[in-house]
């Protein structure tokens, strides 16, 4: 599961590749670390056209996941002898969001597979935890993946407009736009580090167009591993890419 990535390119390059006609990001700065539940740039379909916008990372979790979490919380309160209003508890159950989508046949995700809810997520490298290199008693380090030179690339994503939920208890109930991106089985580059999955990476401009505009029957075929020669394992000490990173797609 990819829960950390970097985006060191610029909005001009993103707009050029995706043909986004609207830019709502203002003065977009490169981001060395993008973590779940933070704002990050995406290019999404809107009624006014393709828009480059900053959106919060983490799609709505399933109602079952929230019900199970609220039930666990309620059981804990009852054990302490506290009264429980389960409906209110469920309504206010925090949902940090689902960052990655794998099972697109799930009823929970099917409602958001249409063109109007598709987006692409720009990145220059992404991380997967590398338990094999964990020092004794230390933190699990990250392995980083991307193309040589760290050019601008894109994940295939989904976004949901104006979703009401409690993201953090201190925030309370809020309404905001949310996004996440698809995963698939890993290719031969990622598999030695992370055997379960890798993000769905769009290989060129044509695939970006298919993802953003084609019927689902065609777009769903893009949920497959990137070709093995499309990315490499990046050295941890490799210098950061410039904010003026070159276009990956010609």
Inform me whether the pLDDT recorded for 206 exceeds 70.
yes
The neighbouring-strand residues paired with 23 are 52
Residue 66: what pLDDT? Answer: 64
Asked if residue 241 has pLDDT above 50, the reply is no
The chain-wide mean pLDDT, for the chain, equals 89
Whether 160 contacts 60, CB under 8 Å: yes
Residue 209, both tokens: 């167009």
pLDDT at 89: 62
Least confident stretch, 57-66, 100-109, 166-175, 177-186: 57-66
Query: What pLDDT, on the 0 to 100 scale, is given for residue 83?
Result: 79
Checking if the pLDDT of 164 tops 50, the result is yes
**Could you tell me the pLDDT band of residue 243, with boundaries at 50, 70 and 90?**
very low
pLDDT in tens, 111-152: 999 999 999 999 999 999 998 888 877 888 899 999 999 999
The pLDDT value given to residue 240: 44
pLDDT score of 13? 97
Q: Note the Cα 89 to chain centre separation in Å.
A: 28
- Binning pLDDT at 50, 70 and 90, where does residue 235 land? confident
The model's pTM = 0.87
Identify the pLDDT of residue 237.
43
- Report percent pLDDT > 70 for the chain: 91
Top CATH class, 5-60+96-234: alpha beta
Q: What's the confidence (pLDDT) of residue 111?
A: 96
Return the domain boundaries, the chain: 5-60+96-234, 62-94
pLDDT at site 188 = 97
């Amino acid at each position: 599961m990819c829960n950390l990535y970097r985006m060191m390119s610029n909005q001009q390059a993103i707009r050029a590749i995706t043909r986004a006609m609207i830019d709502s990001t203002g003065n977009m700065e490169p981001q060395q670390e993008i973590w779940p539940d933070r704002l990050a740039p995406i290019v999404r379909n809107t009624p006014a056209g393709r828009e480059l916008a900053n959106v919060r990372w983490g799609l709505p979790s399933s109602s079952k996941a929230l019900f199970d979490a609220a039930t666990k919380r309620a059981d804990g309160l009852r054990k302490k002898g506290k009264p429980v209003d389960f409906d209110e508890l469920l309504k206010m159950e925090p949902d940090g969001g689902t960052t990655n989508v794998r099972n697109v046949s799930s009823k929970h995700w099917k409602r958001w597979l249409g063109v109007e809810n598709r987006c692409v997520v720009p990145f220059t490298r992404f991380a997967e935890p590398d338990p094999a290199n964990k020092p004794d008693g230390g933190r699990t380090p990250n392995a980083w993946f991307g193309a040589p030179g760290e050019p601008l690339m894109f994940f295939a994503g989904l976004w949901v407009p104006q979703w009401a939920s409690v993201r953090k208890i201190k925030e309370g109930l809020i309404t905001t736009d949310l996004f996440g991106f698809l995963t698939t089985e890993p290719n031969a580059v990622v598999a030695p580090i992370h055997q379960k999955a890798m993000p769905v990476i769009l290989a060129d401009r044509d695939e970006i167009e298919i993802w953003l505009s084609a019927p689902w029957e065609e777009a769903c075929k893009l949920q497959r591993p990137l070709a093995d020669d499309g990315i490499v394992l990046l050295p941890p000490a490799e210098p950061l890419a410039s904010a003026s990173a070159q276009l990956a797609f010609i």
